[in-house]
């Protein structure tokens, strides 16, 4: 569920933060880092650190005294998309359509998807979109709702899909960051 994992088991403050900082420099923007720690202080430290440095804190899983923190390295380009995909639906509109079992493609990273997604949404991480496109062909004649966290990755995903012959693609804005509808989680 992560692109890189850093082992901080048995280490106390400030080492988990120091190691996290080092490890995030070694991954690409958009990739997810897993930090495995036993220090209970790391729970709030890692979250604050991510918010302070502008990376996305995805979530923490606690398993038998071990904390697994997930952080997605942010991409500076996320802040200023150059070209906007024109066909959008709002979170509210999608929420109203949920009863009709719409096709929803979630292009966030697997870790983000695991920590909460719209029930029935198909996970297609943005980086794997082009190689997965064949599997989506069966939905080509239906309306496809593409969702990410803020509407930026899904914007680009919509552009790619419409270029590859999907005529009826909609970007969900703003996306999961403000989703108030039902959510399914990794158990």
Partner 1 sequence: MARRVAIIASNGGLETAYKVLNIATAAAATEAEVAIFFTFEALAIIHKDAANMLTMGAGKEHYMEGFKRANVPSIPELVEIAKESGVKLIACQMTMDVTGMKKEDFIDGVEVGGAVTFLDFAYDADVTVTF
Which spans of this chain sit near partner 1 (rule: CB under 8 A)?
10-15, 17-18, 20-21, 45, 49, 52-53
> In Å, how far are 71, 82, 132, 182 from 57, measured between CA atoms?
5, 25, 26, 21
Indicate the DSSP class of residue 23.
H
Q: How far is the CB of 102 from partner 1 (least distance, A)?
A: 41
Q: How far is the CB of 47 from partner 1 (least distance, A)?
A: 12
Q: How far is the CB of 16 from partner 1 (least distance, A)?
A: 10
Tell me whether residue 21 or residue 186 sits nearer to partner 1 (CB atom).
21
Residue at token pair 């509109």: 93
Q: Which residues contact 61 (CB under 8 A, 6 or more apart)?
A: 67, 68, 70
Tell me whether residue 16 or residue 175 sits nearer to partner 1 (CB atom).
16
CA 153 to chain centre: 9
158 as an active site residue: the answer is no
Task: Tell me how far apart the alpha carbons of residues 164 and 159 are, in angstroms, rounded to a whole number.
Answer: 9
Q: Enumerate the active-site residues.
A: 13
């Amino acid at each position: 569920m992560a692109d890189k994992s850093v082992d901080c088991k048995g280490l106390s403050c400030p080492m988990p933060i120091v190691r996290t900082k080092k490890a995030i420099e070694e991954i690409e923007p958009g990739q997810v880092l897993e930090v495995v720690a036993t220090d209970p202080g790391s729970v709030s430290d890692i979250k604050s650190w991510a918010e302070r440095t502008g990376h996305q804190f995805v979530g923490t899983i606690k398993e038998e005294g071990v904390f697994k923190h997930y952080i997605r390295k942010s991409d500076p380009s996320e802040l200023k998309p150059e070209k906007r995909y024109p066909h959008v639906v709002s979170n509210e509109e999608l929420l109203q359509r949920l009863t009709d079992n719409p096709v929803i493609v979630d292009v966030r990273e697997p870790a983000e998807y695991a920590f909460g997604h719209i029930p029935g949404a198909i996970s297609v991480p943005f980086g794997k979109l082009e190689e997965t496109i064949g599997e989506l062909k069966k939905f080509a004649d239906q309306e496809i709702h593409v969702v990410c966290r803020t509407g930026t990755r899904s914007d680009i995903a919509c552009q790619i899909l419409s270029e590859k012959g999907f005529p009826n693609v909609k970007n969900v804005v703003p996306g999961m960051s403000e989703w108030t509808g039902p959510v399914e989680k990794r158990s």
